[in-house]
Amino acid sequence: MGYRRIFFLMFILFLMLPLGLLTDAPAWGEWDLSFYEKAIGFIPEGMKKGNVIDPLIQDYSLEGLPPAVSYYLSAFIGTALIFLSFYWIKIIRKKDER
């Protein structure tokens, strides 16, 4: 026994990932800036600047790769970072204890 059930769920979600690419519809409010231009006639000043940093993989998509491949790579990277972060917190905890 152990973690088989959780890894099974992770595997199922991995299989389902490409379904997330089927829709182009954004979440409510996460529109392109051109939407605001159309809806209210202008783009609010503060919104024009956009992201404060350049993300590594904007919108889970890597240039030159098929969307599904980018999506899977993003999923692997995200999952790996999550495991590493918790592992790192655990290491800090051990250091605290010493």
Interacting residue ranges for other proteins, rule: CB under 8 A:
1-7, 9-10, 13-14, 16-17, 19-23, 25-30, 36, 40, 42, 44-53, 55-60, 71, 74-75, 77-79, 81-83, 85-87, 89-90, 92-93, 96
Tell me whether residue 9 or residue 69 sits nearer to other proteins (CB atom).
Answer: 9
Tell me whether residue 69 or residue 81 sits nearer to other proteins (CB atom).
Answer: 81
Provide the residue type at 78 as one letter.
G
Q: How far is the C-alpha of 51 from the C-alpha of 19, rounded, in Å?
A: 27
Q: How far is the C-alpha of 52 from the C-alpha of 58, rounded, in Å?
A: 13
20, HSE (Cβ side, Cα atoms, 13 Å): 17
